[in-house]
């Protein structure tokens, strides 16, 4: 199994691009720079950020060059708990205060920066109000509430309720201000913004460093959080000795800006807004067949029993070869075997799997060479091989991989027909594929009937091994995620079977099935939830995986199932928990017990903080 997270070890030949980004930062020589690292979801932007930091950290500093200080900020983790502006300003100010304390210089300036950030928070600038006023936008937050009361008064809505609301809000504003401001002279948001920028520059001067702010996962955020983070970046942008490296999908960012400027008919404003923030756009290169094959081979190598030094030698050799593929050189099993004398037979077999799968993994629309999707495919394959071993079911990995590829990327109706044919055949063989496989492998032109009539199927038929003469019953048994899960013993009606198939295929759409689920008998609802749990046990990260949406929809349809879901979540490994699961289940009646269990079992600090903020919100308070 491979974790679905970023890495500082290059499996994708991204080092050259990361070194280029690092060199741009170095060559700026203290001049402000903002670099956008763009690419689709899962393409490797986070790894590119990590590799860029490693490149800057490991380079030899020349005489007179400033040291780099790094701030990593993931806006997605703060979504729903803190205002993104406040969070980013806090992270930057806190980092500089820590550096000042450690270096024993610039301490006064760093503390002044903290104080100014606190002033802006107290004024609800970080929440959007003062900044919105300074930009001519409608205010929000506490000051926004006072603003709204004022507008009611101007509109002639003066009554006892208005006076009571105004008194309460004024008292709240006074209390909040006293918490963070101590005898500060009169000032205003525009003055404080400029003072904050001045203090920020002076702090960096005193410390003698260049601050590199690495912002990740911005394209995962809701438009409001995305804009808040971009506006916070503007506070610090274009100041001396700063570099911002922002990883996000350009189209997702532009969508957020477009939502922010609703009613603007021309996309020119959207483009201009983005271009003013990003000086140097860099796109993560898409992967071709050679890169996908190399990536899979390196993943297999990482999970092998080879010594770490040998793994690193193979990694470096493959990445070096990738840099020369434009000259016609190949990365394949034969080349990998030249990198070490004693590669285990099992790993050579894995390399063969990579050779076979890489072309389809690159060309198939559902994967298109996306590293994250490739990794998830291989994880699913590994899980099913483990199931087959645990249950004593003999399964050929090549056969399993080919079926899994069709299950993930092929037409669902065609996959159901394949299953039906296997079940109907006494030997469990899909004999009807024989003619198609023969024609596909001989290169003969032929047509396929619906629902098999697409180019993917013709490519898939050529992928070894052929299946027409294979008993697929064992393979389908360990692949019980769709129709094979629905056996006569399950006693599911056709309606329930259809709902289960839909929940497994598109769990994110589960909410749209709620009315139909509510009409399913409780005995069948329990079976459906059992099957969803089987799928959910494959998840390695428990933020808000798609299967959780399906489980919650079933519980919403039949609330007595709630304790079963609560028990299932309590069983998840603590290390897999992520903070964004807290608000997703927080409104459920059984959530409190789950949260208590996680806290008592040593949940990660960010999960505990999320639970704390959830309780604060539940009690009617607003976290800072």
Q: Is the pLDDT of residue 287 over 90?
A: no
Three-state DSSP at 220 gives helix
pLDDT in tens, 157-174: 445 554 455 455 445 544
Q: What is the mean pLDDT of the chain?
A: 81
Q: Are residues 462 and 558 in the same domain?
A: no
**Predicted local distance difference test score (pLDDT) of residue 148:** 47
**Beta strands at 33-38 and 280-283: parallel, antiparallel or unpaired:** parallel
Q: Are residues 502 and 439 in the same domain?
A: no
Omega before 465 cis (within 30°)? yes
Select from 257, 283, 309 the last residue of a domain: 283
Q: Is the pLDDT of residue 81 over 70?
A: no
Lowest mean pLDDT among 96-105, 201-210, 422-431: 422-431
Q: Are residues 438 and 331 in the same domain?
A: no
**Predicted local distance difference test score (pLDDT) of residue 580:** 92
Count Cβ atoms below 10 Å from residue 435 Cβ, excluding itself.
11
What's the number of CA atoms in the CB half-sphere (13 Å) around residue 110? 21
Select from 326, 346, 363 the last residue of a domain: 363
Whether residue 576 lies inside any domain: the answer is yes
Three-state DSSP at 214 gives strand
Q: What residues make up the domain containing 301?
A: 292-363
Q: Are residues 321 and 452 in the same domain?
A: no
Q: Are residues 520 and 401 in the same domain?
A: no
Select from 479, 510, 527 the last residue of a domain: 479
Q: Which residues pair with 563 in a beta bridge?
A: none
**By percentage, how much of the chain surpasses pLDDT 90?**
28
Longest dimension (CA), the chain: 88
Averaged pLDDT for residues 183-193 = 65
Q: Are residues 462 and 529 in the same domain?
A: no
What confidence category does residue 524 fall into, taking pLDDT thresholds of 50, 70 and 90?
confident
Cβ neighbours of residue 408 under 8 Å, at least 6 residues apart? 366, 367, 377, 380
Strand order in the sheet with 67-74: 67-74, 209-216, 242-247, 33-38, 280-283
User: Which of residues 124 and 43 earns the better pLDDT score?
Assistant: 43
The answer to whether 47 and 287 are in contact (CB under 8 A) is: no
Q: Are residues 214 and 234 in the same domain?
A: yes
Packing angle of the helix pair 141-154, 160-180 (nearest 10 deg): 150
Tokens of 314: 């193979």
pLDDT in tens, 190-240: 787 888 889 999 999 999 999 999 998 777 777 777 887 887 777 777 789
Whether residue 204 lies inside any domain: the answer is yes
Give the whole-angstrom CA distance, residue 119 versus residue 588: 37
**Predicted local distance difference test score (pLDDT) of residue 8:** 67
Averaged pLDDT for residues 470-480 = 84
Q: Are residues 347 and 468 in the same domain?
A: no
Is the backbone of residue 347 left (phi > 0), alpha (psi -120 to 50) or beta? Answer: alpha
Give the whole-angstrom CA distance, residue 609 versus residue 615: 10
**By percentage, how much of the chain surpasses pLDDT 70?**
82
Lowest mean pLDDT among 186-195, 333-342, 493-502: 186-195
**Predicted local distance difference test score (pLDDT) of residue 186:** 57
Averaged pLDDT for residues 468-478 = 88
Q: Rounded to 5 degrees, what angle do the CA atoms 246, 49, 375 make?
A: 115
Give the whole-angstrom CA distance, residue 356 versus residue 438: 18
Whether residue 275 lies inside any domain: the answer is yes
The answer to whether 504 and 481 are in contact (CB under 8 A) is: yes
Give the whole-angstrom CA distance, residue 385 versus residue 605: 34
Whether residue 623 lies inside any domain: the answer is no
Token pair 């898939």: residue: 460
Three-state DSSP at 593 gives helix
Token pair 């525009």: residue: 190
Q: Is the pLDDT of residue 485 over 50?
A: no
Whether residue 605 lies inside any domain: the answer is yes
Q: Are residues 199 and 262 in the same domain?
A: yes
Smallest CA-to-CA distance from 261 within 226, 215, 216, 220 is with 226
pLDDT in tens, 579-624: 999 999 998 999 999 999 999 888 888 999 999 988 888 776 544 4
Averaged pLDDT for residues 43-72 = 88
Find the helix or strand (DSSP H, E) in which 516 lies: helix 514-518
Q: Is the pLDDT of residue 416 over 80?
A: yes
Q: Are residues 353 and 298 in the same domain?
A: yes
Lowest mean pLDDT among 202-206, 434-438, 442-446, 493-497: 493-497
Q: Are residues 472 and 508 in the same domain?
A: no
How many structural domains does the chain have? 4
Whether residue 9 lies inside any domain: the answer is no
**Whole-structure pTM value:** 0.60
Give the whole-angstrom CA distance, residue 222 versus residue 409: 28
Whether residue 24 lies inside any domain: the answer is yes
Q: Burial, 252: exposed, middle or buried (Cβ in 10 Å; 0-12, 13-18, 19+)?
A: middle
Cα 254 to the chain's mean position, in Å? 18
Q: Are residues 96 and 214 in the same domain?
A: yes
Whether residue 374 lies inside any domain: the answer is no
């Amino acid at each position: 199994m491979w974790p679905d997270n970023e890495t500082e070890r290059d499996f994708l030949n991204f080092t050259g691009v990361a070194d280029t980004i690092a060199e741009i930062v170095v060559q700026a020589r203290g001049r402000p720079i903002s670099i956008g690292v763009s690419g689709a979801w899962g393409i490797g932007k986070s790894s590119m950020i990590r590799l860029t930091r490693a490149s800057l950290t490991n380079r030899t500093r020349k005489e007179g060059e400033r040291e780099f200080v790094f701030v990593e900020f993931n806006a997605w983790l703060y979504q729903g708990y803190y205002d993104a502006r406040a969070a980013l300003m806090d992270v930057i100010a806190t980092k500089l205060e820590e550096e000042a304390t450690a270096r024993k210089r610039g301490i006064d300036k760093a503390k002044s920066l903290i104080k100014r950030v606190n002033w802006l928070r107290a004024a609800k600038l970080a929440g959007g109000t003062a900044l919105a006023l300074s930009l001519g936008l409608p205010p929000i937050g506490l000051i926004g509430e006072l603003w709204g009361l004022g507008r009611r008064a101007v509109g002639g809505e003066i009554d006892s309720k208005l006076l009571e609301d105004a008194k309460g809000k004024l008292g709240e504003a006074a209390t909040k201000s006293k918490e963070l401001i101590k005898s500060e002279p009169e000032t205003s948001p525009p003055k404080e913004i400029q003072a904050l920028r001045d203090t920020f520059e002076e702090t960096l001067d005193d410390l003698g460093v260049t601050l590199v702010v690495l912002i990740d996962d911005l394209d995962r955020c809701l438009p409001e959080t995305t804009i808040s983070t971009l506006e916070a970046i503007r506070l610090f942008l274009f100041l001396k000795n700063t570099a911002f490296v922002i990883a996000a999908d350009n189209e997702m960012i532009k969508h957020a800006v477009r939502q922010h400027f609703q009613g603007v008919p021309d996309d020119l404003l959207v483009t201009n807004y983005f271009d003013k923030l990003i000086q140097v756009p860099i796109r993560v290169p898409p992967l071709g067949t050679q890169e996908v094959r190399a990536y899979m081979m390196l993943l297999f190598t990482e999970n092998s029993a080879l010594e770490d030094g040998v793994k690193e030698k193979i990694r470096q050799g493959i990445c070096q070869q990738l840099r020369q593929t434009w000259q016609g050189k190949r990365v394949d099993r034969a080349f990998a075997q030249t990198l070490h004398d004693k590669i285990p037979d099992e790993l050579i077999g894995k390399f063969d799997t990579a050779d076979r799968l890489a072309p389809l993994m690159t060309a198939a629309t559902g994967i298109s060479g996306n590293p994250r999707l490739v990794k998830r495919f291989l994880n699913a394959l590994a899980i099913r091989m483990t199931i087959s071993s645990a249950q004593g079911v003999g399964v050929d990995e090549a056969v399993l991989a080919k079926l899994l590829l069709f299950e993930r990327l092929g037409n669902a109706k065609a996959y159901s027909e394949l299953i039906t044919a296997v079940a109907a055949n006494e030997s469990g063989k899909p004999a009807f594929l024989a003619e198609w496989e023969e024609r596909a492998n001989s290169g003969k032109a032929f047509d396929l009937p619906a629902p098999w009539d697409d180019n993917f199927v013709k490519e898939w038929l050529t992928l070894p091994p052929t299946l027409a003469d294979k008993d697929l019953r064992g393979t389908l048994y360990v692949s019980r995620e769709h129709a094979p899960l629905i056996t006569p013993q399950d006693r599911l009606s056709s309606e329930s079977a259809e709902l289960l198939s839909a929940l497994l295929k598109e769990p994110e759409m589960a909410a749209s099935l709620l009315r139909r689920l509510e009409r399913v008998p409780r005995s069948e609802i329990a079976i459906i939830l059992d099957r969803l749990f089987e799928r959910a046990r494959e998840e390695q990260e428990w933020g808000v995986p798609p299967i959780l949406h399906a489980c919650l929809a079933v519980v919403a349809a039949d609330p007595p199932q709630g304790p079963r879901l609560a028990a299932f979540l309590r069983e998840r490994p603590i290390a897999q928990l992520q903070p964004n699961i807290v608000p997703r289940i927080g409104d459920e009646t059984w959530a409190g017990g789950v949260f208590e269990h996680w806290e008592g079992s040593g949940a990660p600090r960010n999960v505990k903080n999320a639970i704390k903020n959830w309780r604060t919100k539940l009690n009617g308070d607003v976290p800072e």
